[in-house]
Amino acid sequence: MKRQQLLSTKFYSLLSLVFVFILLISNLAEIKLVDVLGYAQVGAGTLFFPLLYVLNDVMTEVYGFSASRRTIWTAMIFSLVFSGLMYSVMLLPDGPDWQEKEAFEIVFGISPRIVLGSVSSYFVSELINASIISYLKFQFQGRMFAVRALFSTTIASFIESALFGYIAFYGRMPDDEMVKMICMLTIVKVLYEFVLMPFTVLLVGYLKRAEGLDVYEKPSLRKIIPF
């Protein structure tokens, strides 16, 4: 869909804002490590990040690949700007009475490897997710949304988890621990989408009726850049 058409829809802008918000919250929450049944440790951002796959599936199914791609780019730009601004704030001179410097730097002084891993894995996986579900929509003639969404999320979340783990933690944790982390992250994200699928299907149906849209759009390399 073209930009002017998207702006005339009822819910696209709201869904995009929610998408950006969830990405920012996920990145902040990822700082805290959470133990999962004594098997592996994952970032707390995993509680929120799978919602991005859900929203990506919904937006791609209703508004098409171009609309989803535009939101993915927007969220990435906001994430980079947020990180850059907070890093700039860290460089400002400290006030003589400020006692929270160490805590502030722990939260916002994220290492370049983690930033690179987070941004690149997010961007690649979300585009792959949108591409798969768009392509399969043609193949299945719009049917079996739940199956298409779960399949695309499984592929994309594994790639995202592996890419993030390799860039951010390779050489910093044992290989077997990294493999366990990647597997656990993938399983959690897919289960998350599976549990929410009944609500996702209802949301897709509602949006298609409310917007009067059901866009079919094949992804291509020339459509990756939305400008």
Q: Which residue has the higher pLDDT, 94 or 33?
A: 94
Contact 160, 125 (CB under 8 A): yes
Q: How confident is the model at residue 3 (pLDDT cuts 50, 70, 90)?
A: low
pLDDT by residue (tens digit) across 107-149? 676 666 677 778 888 899 999 999 999 999 999 998 999 999 9
Mean pLDDT across the chain, nearest whole number?
A: 84
In terms of DSSP bridges, do strands 40-43 and 33-36 run parallel, antiparallel, or are they unpaired? antiparallel
- 29-43 burial: b if 16+ Cβ within 10 Å, else e: bbeeeeebeeebebb
Q: Is 64 left (phi over 0), alpha (psi -120 to 50) or beta?
A: left
pTM (2 decimals)?
0.86
Please say if the pLDDT value at position 1 is more than 80.
Answer: no
pLDDT by residue (tens digit) across 14-30? 999 999 999 988 877 87
Structure tokens at 99: 């006692």
Q: d(Cα 209, Cα 215) in Å, to the nearest integer?
A: 12
